[in-house]
Amino acid sequence: MARRKAPEVNAGSMADIAFLLLIFFLVTTTIETDSGLNRKLPPMEDVVDPPIIKERNIFSVVVNKFNQLLVEEKPLELAQLREEAVKFLDNGGGKGEEACSYCLGKRNSDSSDNPEKAVISLKNDRETDYKVYIAVQNELVAAYNVLRNREFKRLNPNLGLDFVQADKIYNDPRTSVSEKERLKPLLSEVKILLSFRSRGLRVRRRPQVERGKQPGGGMG
């Protein structure tokens, strides 16, 4: 009796199916990427006696666990935060050595002396949404950029650029070395006037507490 041959499997169609599945997973798979803020933190220093900061030079911003803003102990919408921060930084209420020659604010004696002395204190609850925390920081940084743009144009009227535009050109890898050398001192001059690295934007996050214990003070 003749022996039957085993039927051959058409591998060509299986390869097509495997290729289609590969394309499907490549298209539908979501790859998560880390997000955050690019910040240059000041170096750690051994400070025995912390500097005394006048109360009027502190702009208090608090975000509670319900993502609500309290600015200077008063409720405020996020859309208004940038304007209020600019008013605080640009107040120019200082006198004598603390006077601000370039400030255009109301020079209220109850507000900041000058941008160099001004401190923005940002506090948030440990249950604050991260996206809200990021949005608040963005508005505070934008407030500094409003004043930086103004001062950069005042100091460099013939350049045709504001601070943000010049900084973007400076950090562009395609920008020539000679152009970077030209922009560097101009950007540095404005950064010195309006710097938030050491005294500008201070972020104070509430420490983690053990479960079952409530942190003391602050907003719930």
Q: Please give the chain's pLDDT, 220 residues, in tens.
A: 556 666 666 666 777 788 888 888 888 887 766 666 666 655 666 656 667 788 899 999 999 999 999 999 899 999 999 999 999 999 999 999 889 989 999 999 899 999 988 999 888 888 999 999 999 999 999 999 999 999 999 999 999 999 999 999 999 999 999 999 999 999 999 988 887 633 334 433 333 333 333 333 333 3
* Residues near 67 by beta carbon (within 8 Å), at least 6 away in sequence: 128, 129, 132
Report the distance separating Cα 65 and Cα 206, nearest Å.
11
Q: Quickly tell me which residue has 């100091």 as its tokens.
A: 155
Please tell me whether residue 115 adopts helix, strand or coil conformation: coil
Report the distance separating Cα 88 and Cα 122, nearest Å.
14
Please tell me whether residue 217 adopts helix, strand or coil conformation: coil
pTM of the model: 0.68
| Residue-level pLDDT at 24 | 85
| Residue-level pLDDT at 29 | 80
| Residue-level pLDDT at 218 | 38
Report the distance separating Cα 219 and Cα 186, nearest Å.
42
CB 78 within 8 A of CB 85: no
| Residue-level pLDDT at 207 | 34
Helix ranges (DSSP H) in the chain = 11-28, 78-89, 130-155, 163-171, 177-193
